[in-house]
């Protein structure tokens, strides 16, 4: 396992070769590190699968200082819990990745943003940061080099949208978590308007892997153009729900479900893509390899790498209502399409679940989906209807069956 190691304290981590990658990196030039990351083909693990090396390059290029780095541990997607497990089991690897990235882009200060629900972990990370300061791995002149860097832990306060990178930055700045209009992107205009690199914690944990084995070797893990180890949160009606590691493209969805001991009850369908903002799929997708590229080819995305499995007890409209409620509650309320659209979606689906759904309601849902998709300010609103749209495609009969 490259990510899911068990290294809960620093002795264990060091014993497993921890911080070697950092020492190696400190001997590299900054651009060389970024080159390695680019070569590795590492894609962001926070949902958008953006090439990590490229993002680093953008920030490195900026003239403005100071620069910041942010670890995104806001993990709020329902059905996603891999970041939590990673932080519990292998926290130092994340911190190591963060220090290397900071060095590469020239940041002296980092923020570790953790959702409120994980506050015990936040305390633990804070302790570990203190420990690393004592060890000279954080703070002034790391490992005796000229590089100084420190990390501040920021605890969220209950807002899913704060996982969105710009909302998260607003939150760190002590404001309400309203996503910003992009562009400008965080690489140019991030925290306090300064160039900022933001990565998911799993992405960061991959950095030491890249540095240890070299970008070229890393790029050969998994599939061409979709490389490296990935964590999958598998939940719902499977025998052993939990977090599983596999190289991208190595396993199909079906194989992954088998790995967890198979379905509990009779398989009905599943969700992938990052909880609520994901796709509701049927058995036709079981043979799809778990890979960003394959997903894209089928008009989907892997997102955070979660799989929620449904059995016969699950009613699709009921799921959609649950999702609608989620979005209504988690919409930041900044923009009309999402603020009113999520509410309307919940109201209509509620009506349908009550058995009062009509054809016009479906039309209204479709129109709302289209408006939200093109006119929402941030991806939350734009993706709120993905589940509905994909369910309509894959479970059309069941869904239309209750419409008058």
Partner 1 sequence: MIITIDGKRVEVEEGKTILQAARENGIEIPALCNYIDGKPIGSCGLCVVSIKNGGREYHARACATKVADGMEIETHTQEVEDARRTILEMLAEEHGEIGGEANELFLKYGIEIKSDKKREAPNLVDNPFISFNPNACVSCFRCVQACSLIKENHVLVRENRGSNIGIVAGINENLKDAGCAFCGACVDACPTGALMDLTPKEEEGKKITSICPYCGVGCAIDYYVLGNEIIYARGSPDGVNKGDDCIKGRYGWQFVHSEERLKKPLIKKNGKFEEVTWDEALNYVASRLKEIKEKYGADSIAGLSSAKCTNEENYLFQKFMRIVVGTNNVDHCARLCHASTVVGLFKVFGSGAMTNSLEDLEKDAELYFVIGSNTTHAHPVIGTMIKRAVKSRGAKLIVADPRDIELAEYSDLHLRQRPGTDVALINGMMNVIISHGLEDREFIENRTEGFEKLKEIVKKYTPEYVEKITGVPKEDIIKAAVLYATHKSAIIYAMGITQHTSGTANVASLANLALLTGNVGKRGAGVNPLRGQNNVQGAGDMGALPNVLPGYAKLGTRRAREIEKIWGRKIPEKDGLTVVEMMHAASKGVIKGMYIMGENPAVSDPDQKHVIQALKNLEFLVVQDLFMSETAQLADVILPVVSSLEKEGTFTNTERRVQLLHRVLEPVEDAKPDWWIIQEIAKRMGAEWNYESPKDIFEEIRKVVLQYRGITYERIEKMGLQWPCPSEGHHGTKILHEDMFPTPNGLAKFSPYEYNPPAEEPDEEYPFVLTTGRTYEHFHTGTLTRKIDGFNELIPEAFVEIHPEDAEKLGVEDGDCIEVESRRGKIRVKAKLAGIKKGVVFIPFHFAESAANVLTIDALDPEAKIPELKVAAVRLKKC
Partner 2 sequence: MDGKVLEIIEKHRNDDSKLLAILHDVQNEFGYIPEDAIKTIAKELGMKKGEVYDAASFYSFFKFEPEGKHEVMICDCIVCHIKGSERIIERIEKEFGVKMGETTKDGKFTFKVVEGLGHCESSPVMMLDGKIYGDLTPEKAMEILRGCE
Ligand X SMILES: Cc1cc2nc3c(=O)[nH]c(=O)nc-3n(C[C@H](O)[C@H](O)[C@H](O)COP(=O)(O)O)c2cc1C
Residues making contact with partner 1 (CB under 8 A): 159, 176, 181, 328-337, 339-344, 367-368, 370-371, 374-377
* Binding of residue 338 to ligand SF4 (CB under 6 A): yes
Q: Does 179 bind ligand SF4 (CB under 6 A)?
A: yes
- Smallest gap, in angstroms, from Cβ of residue 272 to ligand X? 16
How far does CA 388 lie from the centroid of its chain?
21
The nearest distance, CB 148 to partner 2, in angstroms, is 15
Q: How far is the CB of 78 from ligand FES (least distance, A)?
A: 4
The Cα–Cα gap between 27 and 3 comes to 24
H-helix segments, 176-291? 201-213, 215-219, 253-259
Identified binder of partner 2 from the candidate list 84, 194, 344, 346, rule CB under 8 A: 84
Shortest Cβ distance from residue 181 to ligand X (Å)?
13
Helices (H), 4-113: 10-15, 20-27, 30-40, 52-61, 82-89, 91-105
Scan residues 364-383 and list those touching partner 2 (CB under 8 A): none
Least distance CB 175 / partner 2 (angstroms) = 5
Euclidean distance between CA atoms 66 and 108, whole angstroms = 7
Q: Are strands 267-272 and 242-247 parallel, antiparallel or unpaired?
A: unpaired
Take residue 251 and report the two structure tokens written for it: 């396993």
Query: What residues numbered 266-285 form the site for ligand X, per CB under 6 A?
Result: none
Work out the end-to-end distance of the chain between its first and last CA atoms, rounded to an integer number of angstroms.
52
User: Cβ(83)–Cβ(201) under 8 Å?
Assistant: yes
44 binds, among ligand X, partner 2, ligand FES, none (CB under 5 to 8 A by kind): ligand X
Q: Which of 65, 150, 148 is nearest to 112 (CA)?
A: 150
Compute the least distance from the CB of residue 374 to partner 1, in Å: 4
Q: Is the peptide bond before 184 cis (omega within 30 degrees of 0)?
A: yes
Judged by beta carbon, residue 158 or residue 261, the one nearer partner 1 is: 158
Among ligand SF4, partner 1, ligand X, none, partner that 108 touches (CB below 5 to 8 angstroms by kind): none
In angstroms, the CA 173 to CA 175 distance is 6
The verdict on 262 binding partner 2 (CB under 8 A) reads: no
CB of 209 to ligand FES, least distance (A): 27
Q: Do 113 and 156 meet the contact criterion of CB atoms below 8 Å apart? A: yes
**Cα–Cα distance, 222 to 247 (Å, whole number):** 5
The residue within the footprint of ligand X, chosen from 104, 121, 151, 161 (CB under 6 A), is 161
Cα–Cα distance between 204 and 228 in angstroms, integer?
13
Number of residues lying near ligand SF4 (CB under 6 A) = 14
Among 41, 46, 78, 337, binds ligand FES (CB under 6 A): 78
Show contacts with ligand FES in window 246-305 (CB under 6 A).
none
Closest approach of partner 1 to the CB of residue 358, in Å: 16
Find the shortest distance in angstroms from Cβ 323 to partner 2: 7
Q: Which of residues 92-151 bind partner 2 (CB under 8 A)?
A: 109, 111, 115-120
- Dihedral in degrees, nearest 10, Cα atoms 54, 57, 63, 68: 80
Q: Give the whole-angstrom CA distance, residue 25 versus residue 20.
A: 8
With CB under 5 to 8 Å by kind, the binding choice for 376 among partner 2, ligand X, partner 1, none is: partner 1
How many residues bind partner 2, per CB under 8 A? 54
b/e sequence 227-246, b meaning 16+ C-beta within 10 Å? bbbbbbbbbbbbeebebbbb
Task: Report whether 366 contacts 393 (CB < 8 A).
Answer: no
By the criterion CB under 8 A, which residues form the site for partner 2? 75-81, 84, 109, 111, 115-120, 152, 154-160, 171-178, 233, 235-237, 241-243, 271, 275-276, 308, 310, 313-314, 318-319, 322-323, 326, 329-330, 332
By the criterion CB under 6 A, which residues form the site for ligand X? 44-48, 50, 52, 72, 74-76, 161, 163-165, 198-200, 203, 378-380
By the criterion CB under 6 A, which residues form the site for ligand SF4? 161, 179, 331-335, 338-339, 376-378, 380-381
């Amino acid at each position: 396992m490259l990510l899911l190691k068990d290294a809960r304290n620093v002795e264990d981590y060091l014993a497993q070769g921890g911080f070697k990658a950092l020492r190696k990196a400190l001997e590299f030039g900054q651009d060389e590190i970024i080159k390695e990351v680019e070569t590795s083909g590492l894609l962001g693990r926070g949902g958008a699968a953006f090439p990590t090396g490229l993002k680093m390059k953008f920030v490195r290029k900026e003239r403005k200082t100071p620069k910041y780095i942010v670890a995104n541990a806001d993990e709020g997607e329902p059905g996603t819990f891999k970041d939590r497990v990673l932080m519990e089991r292998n926290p130092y690897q994340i911190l190591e990745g963060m220090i290397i990235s900071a060095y590469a882009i020239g940041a002296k200060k980092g923020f570790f943003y953790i959702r409120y629900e994980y506050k015990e972990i936040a305390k633990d990370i804070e302790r570990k940061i203190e420990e690393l300061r004592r060890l000279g791995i954080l703070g002034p002149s790391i490992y005796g080099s000229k590089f100084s860097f420190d990390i501040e832990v920021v605890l969220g306060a209950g807002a899913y949208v704060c996982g969105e990178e710009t909302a998260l930055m607003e939150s760190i700045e002590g404001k309400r978590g309203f996503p910003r209009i992009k562009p400008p992107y965080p690489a140019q205009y991030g925290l306090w308007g300064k160039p900022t690199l933001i990565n998911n914690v799993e992405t960061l944990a991959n950095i030491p892997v890249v540095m240890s084995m070299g970008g070229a070797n890393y790029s050969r893990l998994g599939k061409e153009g979709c490389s490296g180890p990935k964590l999958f949160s598998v939940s719902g009606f499977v025998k052993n729900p939990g977090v599983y590691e596999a190289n991208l493209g190595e396993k199909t969805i079906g194989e992954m479900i088998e790995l967890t001991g198979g379905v509990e009850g009779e398989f009905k369908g599943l969700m992938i893509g990052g909880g609520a903002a994901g796709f509701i799929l049927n058995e036709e997708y079981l043979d799809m390899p778990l890979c960003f590229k394959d997903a894209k080819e089928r008009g989907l995305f892997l997102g955070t790498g979660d799989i929620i499995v449904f059995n016969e007890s699950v009613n699709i409209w009921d799921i959609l209502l649950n999702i609608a409620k989620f979005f209504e509650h988690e919409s930041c309320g900044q923009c009309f399409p999402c603020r009113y659209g999520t509410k309307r979606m919940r109201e209509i689906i509620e009506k349908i679940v009550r058995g009062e759904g009509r054809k016009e309601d479906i039309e209204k849902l479709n129109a709302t989906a289209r408006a939200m998709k093109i006119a929402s300010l941030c991806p939350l609103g734009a993706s709120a209807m993905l589940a509905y749209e994909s369910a309509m495609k894959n479970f059309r009969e069941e869904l239309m069956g209750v419409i008058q």
